[in-house]
């Protein structure tokens, strides 16, 4: 198996309307996202060709659209959809880790954030929730 390269998006911030409570889905709140993508960049490196690597602007725009235009009760569901979207639309990506943080989760306590992490591989994208 070839060694896979990694691209990481750190702390992408969104204002979106996800949550278990109606108020969260009506008023919205801040979310933070880290993405780690694993891919084979050998052709891109050899040819110095952007078309043969990860188009991170396109990924950012697709994820932004999904996060800001959909509503989900669970951040686990949202994280899974983000991972599936990337794997389905970007065949070069072999594995993705999505870390989704909710800084203002409705929990009676003091904390920085609640975070969920999902890891999906390209060969597994259709095994969940079908």
Kindly name the residue from 3, 10, 94, 102 that is annotated as catalytic: 102
- Distance CA(115)–CA(102), nearest Å, equals 6
**Domain limits, the chain:** 5-124
User: For a pLDDT cut of 90, what percent of the chain falls above it?
Assistant: 68
Provide the mean pLDDT of the chain: 91
Residue 91 annotated as catalytic? no
Q: Is 39 exposed, middle or buried (0-12, 13-18, 19+ CB in 10 A)?
A: buried
Q: What is the per-residue pLDDT across 77-123, written as a single tens digit (0 to 9) for each?
A: 999 999 999 999 999 999 999 999 998 888 888 988 999 999 999 98
What pLDDT does 130 receive? 46
- Distance CA(101)–CA(115), nearest Å, equals 4
Q: Name the pairing type of β-strands 29-39 and 114-121.
A: unpaired
Using alpha carbons only, give the angle 13, 129, 117 rounded to the nearest 5 degrees: 35
Q: Which CATH architecture has domain 5-124?
A: 2-Layer Sandwich (3.30)
- Distance CA(109)–CA(61), nearest Å, equals 34
């Amino acid at each position: 198996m070839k060694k896979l390269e990694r691209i990481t998006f750190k702390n992408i911030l969104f204002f979106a309307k996800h949550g278990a409570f109606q108020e969260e889905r009506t008023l919205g709140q801040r979310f933070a996202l880290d993405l780690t993508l694993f891919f084979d960049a050998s052709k891109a490196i050899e040819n110095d060709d952007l078309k043969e690597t990860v188009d991170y602007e396109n990924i950012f725009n697709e994820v932004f659209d999904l996060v800001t235009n959909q509503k989900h009760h669970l951040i686990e569901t949202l994280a899974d959809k983000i991972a599936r979207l990337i794997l389905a639309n970007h065949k070069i990506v072999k594995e993705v880790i999505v870390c989704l943080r909710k800084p203002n989760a409705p929990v009676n306590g003091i904390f920085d954030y609640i975070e969920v992490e999902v890891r999906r591989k390209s060969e597994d994208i259709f095994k969940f929730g079908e």
